[in-house]
Every structure is written in structure tokens, then in C-alpha cells.
Structure 1
Amino acid sequence: MVTVSSLQAEEQRRLVAACFARTGLTVEQLWLRYFALGGDVSEGELRAFLRGSSSLPRIQRDMVAHAVNERLDEISGARRAPYSRDTGEDARPRGPLAALVGLLDGAHRVAPERLPEVIAAAGRALDLRIAVYLADYDQHRLIPFPGQPPGRVPLAIETSTAGQAYRRAGAMLAEDSAGPRLWTALLDGDERVGVLEVEAGVNTDLNDPTLRTQCHWLASLSGHLIAAAMRYGDGLDVTRRRRRRGPTAELLWEHLPPLTAATRDVVVAGGVEPAYDLRGVTFDYALSETTAWLAIFDAGRDTESAGLVVSAALAAYRSARREGQGLQGQESAVDKALSAQFGVGTAVRGTLAEVDLARGELRHLEAGGEAPLVLGDGHGPATVDSARRSPFGAGTPGRVSAARLRPGDLLVLHTEGLSDARSGDGARFSLAGSLAANAGHVPPEIARRVLQAAKSHCHNTFAGDAGLLLAHWPGTP
């Protein structure tokens, strides 16, 4: 008796063989491609399969089809060889999977400014109406992306329900005259990009926990795609800008890592001000399973070359760190790069640090920079003991200092421009007080709130660039 499944297998074999004939490959060349994909039948068995004198298990047929399709992609850009499911049951995804697959398929090779349309189309698979809001670079407002249905206006992060979802990196349900809507944070990993506004169809309940989970998946994948698209186009980025950036600020923002990142053992978050007139401050970090490396650099605001100088310091630090050098090797690399490129007397202040994530051991080196602060449960912000040396560029080796973090501690690296921000009457900004007041929030929200408080304190007239880098160590599991 001939079964339906055997008929489907033979139909797949026939089509695969026909497609193979158009690849221009020999059987040996096809077998090498198939074997590289994990195939485990011999070249002779593959030859017999293509001739129709023997059959293969379903997974092996699909690997042969994939090897054929890879070759067809190379010569024509079209896939023709069917997979086993193509000749049988309906393999189209439905429900939440249809939304995610639709988002991935729709985003492939799409212009960045079209992504909000793709996200909205994915939402329709869940019977949802979706609009995209992006956070501006001041992290003060959420801006609706142009071209969406009319009536949407910028929303304040501090006072709106949408802003509350952004601040918490979660979801908030709002009830108003227009009906219920769900606001959920757009996340690229742990970095907040903006929010999605979600409205439901007549038969969909936004209070449904399962739907909330599906919206979270959609927002997370959308956040990844938006962040990736910003690297190859300006259509999304310009929405986030409230005013023009000068060339130096543009350079420094391009060199910054994501403002938030996390592993199981550490969360880092940072920020810089003034966002649109940054001149000489940058920071960096790298995370691994065992270690968090942190650095902050300040070349001041007083010279035209400050942005280039601090960028050179950052590049030298990254190069040394990626070569596996420790703090003193990183220090030496920055010193040499500055003196070689800009001559003796060029100075950059900064702090280098590394945290052993298993034991909470902190090692740090200050080169004219501010000593780190540590804030934790049961104790207010305290400056760790340090042995400061002259700024980078002087070539004077410094001494590495050590301290021990306690589980739950927040490590704070900052520039003088933040701690020395002054009000109109000359009063200094209390960095320690602001950190303590916001200690209950997640690290990216602490960074945002502290920088907003400093900006308000000095009426956005920073005498020096304000840089802030936080690392929260939860302790060993």
C-alpha cells in the first residue's frame, strides 16, 4: 500500500532533483555542501536519491533541499527546492508566531523608516493596532514616528502613562475616552528605545496575561530591529532628535556603546550631557561571563580638538582591552596614543575599572579622573579609596587600587562636569544625594534621573561635559 507520506516524499525528491539539475553542480559538489550542513548519508546514497532509486529520511531530504537552495540563491536569488512540509500540511504560522514571523520577514531589506509600518502589520496578526514612539536623545519625551495614523503627539516621559512604561521598562494599561490601550517598552536587549502604543480589536482583551506576554515578545523583537536599522539609515534616528548636533557631538555619540547592557551577573547603564552639544566626554564598557570592564574619559570642553583627543583615548583603551591587557596595560596604551598623535602635554582625565563578577572584587585606576562611588543597601554613596595620578598623556604610571563590592552595590563612575554642575547662585549639584534619592530604580532609570536632575540644577548650562556610568552587581547567585 502506498501512503500519502510516501507520495509526498517522492514529490519532494522529484522537485529537488529537478532543481539540482539547474544548479550547475556535480553530485560531489552538492554532497560537500550537504555534508557541511550536517548531512550523514554517503555520496553514493545521495546520487541514488537524486536518480529516484532510493529514498532518504525526511530530515536528510530537507538538508539536500537546503543545499540546493543555497546554490540557487547564489545564481538566481530565488528558492525553488521544496522542503518536506511544503508538499504536505499547511505550514503557515498563526497567532503570535505569525506576528513574529511577519515582523522578521517584513523587516528583511526594508528601509529603516518603513519599520513602524512593518511592526503595525505584525500587530494585526494579533488583532492589535500598534503605533511606535521613540525616546528623544534627552530622554525627556516620547516622539510618535511620522506617517502613523494622525492625532498622536509627543508624550512626556516624566508624567505620561507611556513614560511610566518607559521608566519601568515594562507595560502599563491606560483607560481613557478613546478606550483602553497598552503601553509597552521597546527594548533592544536591556536598552530602552521607546514604547509601543497597543490598541485592541473588539474581541481582544488587553488584560489577558497571555496577550501581554505576546506584546512583550513583539516589543522586544521590534526594539532589536529598530536598533539594528539605526546603524544603516537615518530615517529612525532623525525622529529622536529635537535639535541639531554639531560634528563633535555626532562623533562622540557614534563612539558610545549602547546606553544599557546586562548579563545575569551585572547591569551597566550610562549617559552624557549636554546631549546635543557634547564636546569631550565618552565612556565604554565590556561584559563577559567573569568580568565587567568600565572606563570613562574627559578631555574637557575648552579646545576644538577635545572630541578627537578623547576619541583617540577611547580607541586606545578598547584596543588594549581587546588584546587582553589589564588596567596598567590599558593605561599605558592610552598614554602612548595621546603623546604619539597629539604631542606631549595633551591631557585626558579618566577612570578605568574592572569588576570580578564572581567575588565582587573591584580594581580601579584614576588618571586625573574622579574616584568611583559605591552605593548599596544599608549604606549611602561613598567614595572608594584611590591613588590618583596625573591625567592620561603625561606618561606617569599610576597605582591600581582595590575594593570589595557587596551584593546589590551600585558602582558609579562619573566626570567632574557632573559632580561640579552649578546652579545660578553657585551651589554644586549633589551627585551623592541624587543617587541616593533614586536608588530604588533600575540602573538605566537611575542614570536618566540623575542626569535630568543635574541638567535642571544648572539650567542645562554645564561648565564641563557630564558623563555617568553605572554598574549594578547583584552578587553571586
Structure 2
Amino acid sequence: MASLQAEEQRRIVAACFARTGLTLEQLWLRYFALGGDVSELELEAFLQGLVPLPRIQRDMVAHAVNERLEEVSGVRQAPYSRETGENTRPRGPLAALVGLLDGAHRAPPERLPEIIATAGRALDLEITVYLVDHDQRQLIPLPCGPGTDRVPLAIEASTAGRAYRHADTMPAEEPGGPRLWTVLLDGDERLGVLEVEADADTDLHDPALRTQCRWLASLSGHLLAGARTRGDGLDTLLRRRPSSPTADLLRQNLPPAAAATRDVAVAGGVEPVHDVRGTAFDYALSETTAWLSIFDAGRDTTRAALVVSAALAACRSARREGRGLRDQETAVGEALSTQFGGGALVRGTLAELTLADGTLRWLQAGGEPPLVLGADHELATVDSARCPPFGAGPPGRITTTRLRPGDLLALHTEGLSGARAADGARFALAGCLDAHAGHAPPETVRRVLQAAKHHCHSGFTGDAGLLIARWSSRP
């Protein structure tokens, strides 16, 4: 496929434009409708040979001119940057996003990587999708057609992993040539990264290109997240080892691992991810309030997963009916008594954060005391009084405090703070939170859980659950 020199293409396109009868404004409107993103002034400067345009933008100008020439004479004369034969399909950001939406409609999950790659070609980019494995240690490449074989990449030791850790776009000079790595997001939840390869004459530092890649990654992330709820094709590729039925049940009951509004960001996780037996967390965000909860039914009973799932469902149901912390506590206790005859115990913490002023109300039911880490690295245990588990005694005490902007609130289980090394040393949860609190909440959770796993050599004696929230006051 031969390429046309940029200046020669510009000269011919400008000559063809002169024969269209269009004003510059009319041409710009047609070009903009195709997904063009330079201004009318920049378009005029390009046609006059004063400024260059990227190849994608040149081809959209040519396509806009050709559409008009077809209307008036039935003949296309403006050349594209490559010899395309009869392939005059519009290219550029709009074409890529529309193509992605059209291709994903009713597609099975395992076809999405190929559909995303096809959308990338509308930007003259080669795209490969990598999703994070369940252990959050590797980025797994997904097949998207012949000749796209890749190897998993370590999150801690690759440019792709750095893009994932920082939820950003990173350039890299690699043996196969320069490329971009951009994070795949579903809202604030990180799913993986896109590998973006371009021709040698493409400027990977071009802000417009990076913006287009972020748009593509954002839409791809939403489509992938939705597709994973409809089939197992992608999930199967991310299992690096077998997962217990109990772990699968609990994982399906959890909310997304991260979410945010303009006032608060939350993130959570559990370990051991392939064998969690009785721990779950939950949250709900609104314009005014963040509700947070964590539950722990232990690992020592065969019905722990059912017990903690019942507690989670009862709390959600009460919360969705607009009931407060006390009623949520009552609903959990009643559900446990009704379904398990009063012999099931669940420890946990319920919390309610008012986003306007940072007022925090929480209720403990045998759970671990919440921790608050201030922006000045001052750590506080907001309540140390132990209360009976849900449904096992008098109602828990509701306590109120006030967070400061930037404070990090952590709800956790005893299995995390009590994780022990071979010599019996306990995991220093507070210190680990302090060390990693400078990251975005999803990365803080990942790093803390990885550190706990390393500390006890994956030998958790209790399920490790962590849910954090960072509040920031409105300007």
C-alpha cells in the first residue's frame, strides 16, 4: 500500500476544493461531521500550505471534498494518503467510536477484542487489549485475530503495568517499535490497558492522538465490563488458577472494585481472591452521601459464604428503601435469624458519609475499628469499643466524627490486620496504608492487599477485606 506525500496530497486536495463550490465554512462543517478536530482557521491554513495536518485529518478533509464532488459531478478526485482503491470508508475519531458501538451490538464477549482492534484501524492504529488477571499481578493479552500473539506483562515491571498503576497513558520505545499504553477504565474501575501501535510517521506525543486513545479506551472499557456480565469467554482467560465455587459466588455479589463522584472516591478488594470464603464489602454513592459496609463471617464454616451473602443482601435492601444505619443493622440481624436460626454470626461495620461537610457516622457490630489517615499522615482509630456481631446482642453504638478534606477512611476485616508472617509478626496495616495513601484509592487497595499477601506468603488464616474512601470537600 503506497503512501502519498503529504504536500502533494494537500496541493491536490486544495485544487479539488476550489472546484466544489463550497465556502470554507461549509467544507469545515462537512469535515467536522466526519470527526475532524481542527478549527476552521487551521483548515484554511492547511489548504494554503501554511501548516501541516496529521494524515488522519488530511484524509478526512479529502473525504469531505470528495463527498461534495460526487454530489456535483459523480466523480471523486481528491486523493487519500494511501492508495485505497474503492475503500473510502470515513476514518477518524467519530468513525472509530461509531464503528465500535456498531460492532459490539449483540457480539459475544470474546469477539470484543477484535472489534476494538477494528475500531482502532479507523485511527490508523493497531490495538491490542490486555485485561488484568484476578490476582492483579499480570496484564493478560486477549486474542484479536491472527498474528496478535502476545505474552502476559507484569504490572510491577512493565510500561503497560505503569500505565495501569497510574491510570494514565504512557509512551514506550520497545523492540517492535514505539507505542502507547493507555489504561482501560469502566468509570473508575481499572480493567486493563490498550497497547497502541502506530506508523513510524505518527507522533505518539500528539495531545490529540492521546485524547482519541483515551476516548477509545473509555468506551472499550464500558463495553468490556458489560460484556463480562453476559458470558464467560473473557473471564476464563483471566483465571491464572482455579477459583473455588464460594469465591465465585462472593465475587458476583460484590460491587465494582472502584467508583467515584466529584466528592468521594471508593475502592475495595478481598483476599485470597481465589479462595475467599466469608468476607464481602459494599458501597453506594449519591449526590449527597456515601454508604459503606464490610462484613466478615469467618472462614471456618461451610456456610460462611451464604451467611455473609445474606447479610450483604439485607443491608442493601434496607439501604435502598431509604433506611438508616440502625435499620440496616436490624435488617441484617433479622435476615440471619430468619434464614439460619440465629446460629450464624457476622461481624462488620456500617458507615454513612455526608459529602457536603465530611460528617461520618458509623456502627460497629463486632468488626474491626475503622481507620482514618489524614492528609498530614496522622492516623487515627475512630472507635476502639468492641460490640457484639450482627443479631447477637444489644444494638451497636452509632458514633459520629468529622473528616477533613483529603482524609482516607479504611474499613477492614481482622483477616487483613491480623495476617501473620511465618515468625508470627502481624501485618502492619496502618503503616502500609500510610505508605501507599498517595495513590488513587484503587491502587492503594491493590498495593495494600499485595503487601499483606506477601507478608503471610498467601497463607491467610482469615479473609482479608479492605474498603477505603477518600473524601474531598467541594470548592
The TM-score range, normalised by the shorter chain, is 0.7 to 0.9
Deviations, residues 218-261 of structure 1 (Å, cap 9, x unaligned): 00100000000001011111111111111111100000000000
8 Å CA contact 1:295–1:350 kept in 2: the answer is yes
> Which of 306, 309, 333 pairs up with 2:307?
309
Whichever residue aligns with residue 131 of structure 1, its letter is T
3-state DSSP of counterpart to 2:161: helix
TM-score by length of 2: 0.80
Q: 1:203: Cα distance to partner?
A: 3.6
Q: Does 1:446 align with 2:410?
A: no
Aligned residue for 1:54?
A: none
Aligned residue for 1:457?
A: 455
Correspondence 1:41-60 to 2 at 5 A = none
Q: 1:92: Cα distance to partner?
A: 7.6
Q: 1:388: Cα distance to partner?
A: 3.4
> Which of 167, 171, 174 pairs up with 1:173?
171
Deviations, residues 336-369 of structure 1 (Å, cap 9, x unaligned): 0001100123110000001000000000000000
Aligned residue for 2:383?
A: 385
Correspondence 1:75-474 to 2 at 5 A = 94-148=91-145, 149-385=147-383, 387-474=385-472
Deviations, residues 352-395 of structure 1 (Å, cap 9, x unaligned): 00100000000000000011100121133211025432001315
Instruction: Tell me the distance in 2 between the aligned counterparts of 1:111 and 1:346.
Output: 41
Which deviates more from structure 2 when the two are superposed, residues 374-383 or residues 447-456? 374-383
Whichever residue aligns with residue 133 of structure 1, its letter is Y
Instruction: Tell me the distance in 2 between the aligned counterparts of 1:260 and 1:418.
Output: 19
Q: 1:150: Cα distance to partner?
A: 4.1
Instruction: Tell me the distance in 1 between the aligned counterparts of 2:174 and 2:375.
Output: 39
8 Å CA contact 1:140–1:156 kept in 2: the answer is yes
When the two structures are aligned, how many residues end up with a matched partner?
Answer: 392
Unmatched 5+ stretches in structure 1 = 1-87
3-state DSSP of counterpart to 2:378: strand
Q: 1:265: Cα distance to partner?
A: 0.7
Instruction: Tell me the distance in 2 between the aligned counterparts of 1:387 and 1:422.
Output: 23
Instruction: Tell me the distance in 2 between the aligned counterparts of 1:439 and 1:317.
Output: 28
Which deviates more from structure 2 when the two are superposed, residues 219-228 or residues 140-149? 140-149
Instruction: Tell me the distance in 2 between the aligned counterparts of 1:386 and 1:93.
Output: 63
Unmatched 5+ stretches in structure 2 = 1-70, 77-87
Deviations, residues 170-190 of structure 1 (Å, cap 9, x unaligned): 111000232101000000011
Q: 1:146: Cα distance to partner?
A: 3.1
**Compared with structure 1, are the counterparts of its residues 264 and 93 closer, same or farther at alpha carbon in structure 2 (3 Å cutoff)?**
farther
Deviations, residues 48-91 of structure 1 (Å, cap 9, x unaligned): xxxxxxxxxxxxxxxxxxxxxxxxxxxxxxxxxxxxxxxx8999
Instruction: Tell me the distance in 2 between the aligned counterparts of 1:135 and 1:164.
Output: 13
TM-score by length of 1: 0.80
**Compared with structure 1, are the counterparts of its residues 94 and 150 closer, same or farther at alpha carbon in structure 2 (3 Å cutoff)?**
closer
Deviations, residues 147-169 of structure 1 (Å, cap 9, x unaligned): 55344111000111000000001
Instruction: Tell me the distance in 1 between the aligned counterparts of 2:311 and 2:153.
Output: 38
Instruction: Tell me the distance in 1 between the aligned counterparts of 2:347 and 2:97.
Output: 46
Deviations, residues 394-445 of structure 1 (Å, cap 9, x unaligned): 1521110011100000100000000000000000000001001112111100
Q: 1:93: Cα distance to partner?
A: 5.5
Q: 1:197: Cα distance to partner?
A: 0.3
8 Å CA contact 1:387–1:400 kept in 2: the answer is no
3-state DSSP of counterpart to 1:236: helix
8 Å CA contact 2:358–2:404 kept in 1: the answer is yes
3-state DSSP of counterpart to 1:267: strand
Correspondence 1:18-33 to 2 at 5 A = none
Whichever residue aligns with residue 159 of structure 1, its letter is A
Aligned residue for 1:21?
A: none
3-state DSSP of counterpart to 1:104: helix
Whichever residue aligns with residue 367 of structure 1, its letter is A
Instruction: Tell me the distance in 2 between the aligned counterparts of 1:190 and 1:267.
Output: 9
Deviations, residues 298-344 of structure 1 (Å, cap 9, x unaligned): 00000000000000000000000000010000000000000110012
Instruction: Tell me the distance in 1 between the aligned counterparts of 2:438 and 2:325.
Output: 31
Deviations, residues 260-316 of structure 1 (Å, cap 9, x unaligned): 000111000010000100100000000000000000000000000000000000000
Aligned residue for 2:33?
A: none
8 Å CA contact 2:114–2:143 kept in 1: the answer is no
3-state DSSP of counterpart to 1:369: coil
